[in-house]
């Protein structure tokens, strides 16, 4: 079995974990939640193994690079980072309902990587611009940032659902963490993501200078990365300097994640230095 087939199986494991988390939330039963946690852990193990297998396969083919160089590989890594960060949160806060909002994003990332006709799972040689020691540092930091923003997005949705039921009449929302906890969690995830996105932009600039002779070229992906950075910087500024909490922070978090999605997917349809990422 090659890595692509192994990762396809991992996709179904993440899908099962998502279903179990949602079932635990809807039916308010602890057993599906516990089973979902173990299933998500199995998914992470499979995801990790698939990434390692793909790395080994690249060396066997004489290509020899980290599996982080194209859209397929980045989606696989994105799913891995989402579930890793989520499981840390679940262990800390002892609340599995958040998994109903986090693991589906990992499943969708893996499913899109596996099923989209526009994405190839073939291991390909690196183009000259990607042959740099900065590749791993840049991609890892960016995607840990993206994953943290994805988790913040899910938690922001939970917060808004909770706020719509201010009187606590909905049994479906009764086991959500308290609104203040969700608000603080959004803030923490945004801080975490902002730190890693900042490092990712810096390492990307250094990498760009070594590859193209300039630190910044206003390429579409660079521009939208900066726009995304400013949205989250504005969120943190509003929180710390103006005392914003609650709905306004949740809405900014959602807007920020929409910018992340466009930075990740949308700009691939625009001409630029990063157009290789669509392959």
pLDDT value at position 119? 85
Cβ neighbour number for residue 197 with a 10 Å cutoff: 27
Alpha-carbon distances of 127 from 63, 75, 256, 267, 272, rounded to whole Å = 11, 19, 31, 19, 14
Tokens of 186: 């959004």
Calpha distance 218→274 (Å, rounded): 11
Please indicate whether residue 241 or residue 166 has the higher confidence score (pLDDT): 241
Q: What confidence tier does 84 reach under pLDDT thresholds 50, 70, 90?
A: very high
Calpha distance 143→71 (Å, rounded): 12
Instruction: List the one residue out of 219, 227, 229 whose CA is nearest residue 274.
Output: 219
In this predicted structure, which of 125-129, 148-152, 191-195, 203-207 has the lowest mean pLDDT? 125-129
CA 277 centroid distance within chain? 16
- Span 1-119: which CATH code? 1.20.120
For the chain, the average pLDDT equals 90
pLDDT value at position 250? 97
pLDDT value at position 278? 44
Calpha distance 73→120 (Å, rounded): 10
pLDDT value at position 270? 58
In this predicted structure, which of 45-59, 165-179, 188-202 has the lowest mean pLDDT? 165-179
pLDDT value at position 276? 45
% pLDDT > 70, the chain = 94
pLDDT value at position 274? 55
Q: What confidence tier does 277 reach under pLDDT thresholds 50, 70, 90?
A: very low
Q: Please state the rounded mean pLDDT for residues 177-203.
A: 96
Whether residue 32 contacts residue 23, with contact meaning beta carbons closer than 8 Å, is answered with: yes
Q: Please say if the pLDDT value at position 179 is more than 70.
A: yes
Whether residue 57 contacts residue 66, with contact meaning beta carbons closer than 8 Å, is answered with: no
Q: Please say if the pLDDT value at position 52 is more than 80.
A: yes
Q: Please say if the pLDDT value at position 271 is more than 80.
A: no
Calpha distance 53→2 (Å, rounded): 8
Q: Please state the rounded mean pLDDT for residues 242-248.
A: 91
Q: Please say if the pLDDT value at position 137 is more than 70.
A: yes
In the DSSP assignment, the letter for residue 118 is T
Domain ranges of the chain: 1-119, 129-279
Calpha distance 158→266 (Å, rounded): 26
In this predicted structure, which of 122-131, 152-161, 193-202, 259-268 has the lowest mean pLDDT? 122-131
Whether residue 255 contacts residue 231, with contact meaning beta carbons closer than 8 Å, is answered with: yes
């Amino acid at each position: 079995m090659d890595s692509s087939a192994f990762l396809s199986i991992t996709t179904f494991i993440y899908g099962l974990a998502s279903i179990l988390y949602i079932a635990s939330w809807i039916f308010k039963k602890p057993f599906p939640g516990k089973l979902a946690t173990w299933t998500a852990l199995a998914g992470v193990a499979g995801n990790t193994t698939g990434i390692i297998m793909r790395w080994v396969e690249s060396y066997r083919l004489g290509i020899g690079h980290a599996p982080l160089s194209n859209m397929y590989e980045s989606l696989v890594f994105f799913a891995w980072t989402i579930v890793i960060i989520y499981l840390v949160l679940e262990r800390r806060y002892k609340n599995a309902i958040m998994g109903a909002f986090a693991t589906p994003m990992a499943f969708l990332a893996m499913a899109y990587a596996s099923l989209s006709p526009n994405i190839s799972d073939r291991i390909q040689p690196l183009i000259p611009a990607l042959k740099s020691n900065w590749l791993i540092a840049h991609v890892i930091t960016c995607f840990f940032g993206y994953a943290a923003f994805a988790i913040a997005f899910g938690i922001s949705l939970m917060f808004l659902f909770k706020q719509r039921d201010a009187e606590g009449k909905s049994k479906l929302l009764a086991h959500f963490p308290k609104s203040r906890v969700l608000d603080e969690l959004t803030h923490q995830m945004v801080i975490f993501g902002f730190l890693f996105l900042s490092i990712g932009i810096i390492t990307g600039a250094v990498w760009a200078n070594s590859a193209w002779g300039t630190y910044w070229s206003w390429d579409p992906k660079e521009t939208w990365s900066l726009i995304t950075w400013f949205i989250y910087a504005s969120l943190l500024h509003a929180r710390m300097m103006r005392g914003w909490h609650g709905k306004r922070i949740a809405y900014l978090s959602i807007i920020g994640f929409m910018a992340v999605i466009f930075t990740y997917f949308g700009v691939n349809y625009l001409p630029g230095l990063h157009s290789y990422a669509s392959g």
